[in-house]
Amino acid sequence: MQKDPYLILGIERGASQEEVEKAYKTLRAKYSDLKFEEGEVGANAAKMLGKLDMAYEDCLMDIKDRENVKNYGSSYGEIDSLIKEKKYEEAQTLLDKCEVRDAEWHYMEAQIFYKRQWHSEAKAQLEIACDLDPSNEKYKSTLDRLERVMNRPKDAEFNSERGQRQSRAGYANPNSSDFADNGTDACCNACSTLLCADCCCECMGGDLIPCC
């Protein structure tokens, strides 16, 4: 296995593309002259040229990967802002342009799916994110919360929402037994009210209920 390509080129890891190209050209020119030497010197120079070519390609690939990570990290921040602004179509379009589908990519996809109420699709994306980065607590906790939401009984959720609406309106929803008792009480209260009103009318010379 070839050693660190940056060491072969004699430069530090994280060097720019210009530094990589400069080191490569300098060393290649040196060993290109030495390969015509006789014996071990020429043989070693020829081997070194092959190593230089491989190191050059590896360094350029590493630089591209670093740039991609930087760009995608910036894109993820923009996508997150779009999701918070409820611009889901724009967020999806930007996400689709990302070439690297890493764990964060799938997490962002899950966020968009969840906001669109596509819970099953969001869960699938979160599971992929957890598989790609098992140690990420953000992915695991989000998946756990989503599973709790999906497993919540529909009737309980409906009753909870209805109870909250009634509470805000200033009344409670009676159960069946309470409703029967309240109905009887309501009839008694109505009769008592009418009798009292009739008495008052008779005292003033009127008659609210002729039969009484």
Q: Give the C-alpha separation, 118 to 63, whole Å.
A: 37
Q: Encoding tokens for residue 156?
A: 């309980």
Global model pTM greater than 0.75: no
Residue 65: is its pLDDT beyond 50?
Answer: yes
pLDDT range class, residue 71, cuts 50, 70, 90: low
Q: Which domains does the chain have, with CATH numbers?
A: 5-71 (1.10.287), 101-157 (no CATH)
Q: How many CB atoms lie within 10 A of CB 72?
A: 19
- Mean pLDDT over residues 145-171, rounded? 63
Cβ-in-10-Å burial (0-12, 13-18, 19+) of 157 comes to: exposed
Q: What is the mean pLDDT of residues 64-74?
A: 65
Cα(105)–Cα(126) distance, integer angstroms: 10
- Which whole number is the average pLDDT over 181-195? 50
104: exposed, middle or buried (C-beta count within 10 Å: 0-12, 13-18, 19+)? buried
195 pLDDT higher than 80? no
Per DSSP, the residues of 162-205 read HHHHHHHHT-----HHHHHHHHHHHHHHHHHHHHHHHHHHHHTT
Compute the distance between CA of residue 17 and CA of residue 21 in angstroms, rounded to an integer: 6
Query: Could you tell me the pLDDT band of residue 89, with boundaries at 50, 70 and 90?
Result: very high
Residue length, the chain? 212
State percent of the chain over pLDDT 90: 42
Q: Which residue has the higher pLDDT, 16 or 208?
A: 16
Half-sphere exposure of 168 (CA within 13 A, CB side): 5
Distance CA 41, CA 31 (A): 10
Q: Judge whether residue 208 has pLDDT over 80.
A: no
Q: Is residue 73 pLDDT above 70, yes or no?
A: no
